[in-house]
Amino acid sequence: MTSLLTLALTLGSAIVIGSASAAGPVYPVADPDSFYLPPPDLAAHKPGDVLKSRPMPFNFYFPTSSVWQVLFRSTDSEGKPIAANTTFVLPNNHRPNGPLVSYQHIINALGNKCKLSTELYTTDLFTQIREAPGLNIALARGWAVALPDHLGPRMAYGAAKLGGQITLDGIRAVQSLPQLQVSKSPVGLAGYSGGGMATAWAAALAPAYAPELNIVGAAEGGVPMNLSKMARVLGPNPHVAFGLAMAAALGLEREYPDRINVSGQLNGQGRWLQQMIANGCTNEIMFWGVGRSATQVTDNKNFMDDPAAFRVLDENSLELYPGVPKTPIFEWHSPTDGLIPVDSIVNTTRRYCAAGAHVETLLTPTPDHLSAAVLGLPRALDWIDQRFRGEPLRGGC
């Protein structure tokens, strides 16, 4: 049997996968908070149904807002019911049924301790919500904000389509709770890198998966739109951020346990690295994986030869998904981004335009992935504001 340990690396998504063998997935240590446990009748609920909700205490990141946590029913990558969650933030200047933004944050992690819903209340000084300044701009405008933990209950880092489904079901959930005052709100989507991937998938899936939602626009930046291409380009080479690649290998294995097996191909070094990062957050994952490569963690010489594994990558590649968003799209990226295939972004947006979608693209005057996030976000928020105000679309296609 041929096998694959495919490596695809990006700031918000990195994947290492392999064909089935004896060892199975290593799942994250369970969250100690019983709030996240699904009810016994989970399968009887529809996607987006609220399972639990609770108000939260004062939050340092959003000091003038009220915060809730909502557990809801969603669907995993193989069509099975799961319990997912979102954090809802309501500013004190929000008007009933005023704008709602679902913001999909960047999260490069495998542990439940790394969920945004947990990190908002952690005492760990090394854990910070990097995107809080941008979120506070949105809150200052009176927008309610939903922050889904879009990696799902298994912390399936690397599963792109899953993030889109959880995002849409999270919007359904918060709009069904009257006390949150967003039942009839227009909805905007936003996110960058891995969060941009969840955002872009939500926009593309919405016409079929959640057509009832009133999504007025989606701002998506630095989106990895073809994971298979990334895998083939990067191959087995050592990389300073290999830990992220290994993390997504384990995350994808968790999401597709019947189709992908990473653990069975690991050698001693690979099993050691797996143990060190299986419940880690970004800094831990980066530290333990720095400078390593796929050839160091597996003795299998044929790890680039598994068509079945590439089919999983294709299923999570937006460039290859035939659906087209109905909502307007604002897309931004660096034209020389070295972490993601820029040509896949161009191909995808051209296909959207040819199908009648409106896409506006901003090329940031910066050579790298990280700085593009900062430079593009203010323009993205202004663009979403224009959609909420009902202003005519300008430029684009």
**Rounded CA gap, 352 and 326, in Å?**
9
17 vs 56 pLDDT, higher one? 56
SS3 track for the chain:
CCCECEEECCCCCCEEECCCCCCCCCCCCCCCCHHHCCCCCHHHCCCCCEEEEEEECCCCCCCCEEEEEEEEEEECCCCCEEEEEEEEEEECCCCCCCCEEEEECCCCCCCHHHCHHHHCCCCCCCCCCCCHHHHHHHHHCCCEEEEECCCCCCCCCCCHHHHHHHHHHHHHHHHCCHHHCCCCCCEEEEEECHHHHHHHHHHHHHHHHCCCCCEEEEEEECCCCCHHHHHHHHCCCCCCCHHHHHHHHHHHHHHCCCCCCCHHHECHHHHHHHHHHCCCCHHHHHHHHCCCCHHHHECCCCCECCHHHHHHHHHCCHHHCCCCCCCCEEEEECCCCCCCCHHHHHHHHHHHHHCCCCEEEEECCCCCHHHHHHHHHHHHHHHHHHHHHCCCCCCCC
Q: What is the pTM of this model?
A: 0.92
Lowest mean pLDDT among 17-21, 104-108, 160-164: 17-21
Q: For residue 252, which of 210, 308, 299, 206 has the smallest C-alpha distance? A: 308
Gap between the Cα atoms of 155 and 393, Å rounded: 37
Band (pLDDT 50/70/90 cuts) for residue 1 is very low
Q: Which one is the CATH code of 34-224+373-384: 3.40.50.1820, 3.30.1330.10, 3.40.630.30, 3.30.110.40? A: 3.40.50.1820
Q: Look up residue 33 and give its amino acid.
A: D
How many whole angstroms separate alpha carbon 119 and alpha carbon 128?
7
Least confident range from 27-41, 92-106, 308-322, 351-365: namely 308-322
How many CB atoms within 10 Å of residue 363?
Answer: 14
What tokens appear for 41 in the block?
């009748």
Per the prediction, the chain carries an average pLDDT of 89
For residues 261 and 115, the model is more confident at: 115
For residues 317 and 227, the answer to whether their CB atoms sit within 8 Å is yes
**Banded model confidence at residue 235, pLDDT cuts 50, 70, 90:** low
pLDDT value at 10 more than 70:
no
pLDDT of residue 202: 98
- For the chain, the domains span 34-224+373-384
* pLDDT for 140 beyond 60: yes
Question: What is the pLDDT confidence band of residue 360, given thresholds at 50, 70 and 90?
Answer: very high
Strand partners, 83: 73
* pLDDT at residue 356 in the model: 95
pLDDT of residue 19: 37
- Give the CA diameter of the chain: 61
Q: How confident is residue 124, by pLDDT bands cut at 50, 70 and 90?
A: low
Q: What are phi and psi of 324, to 5 degrees?
A: -125, 130
Report yes or no: 88 and 67 within 8 Å, Cβ to Cβ.
Answer: yes
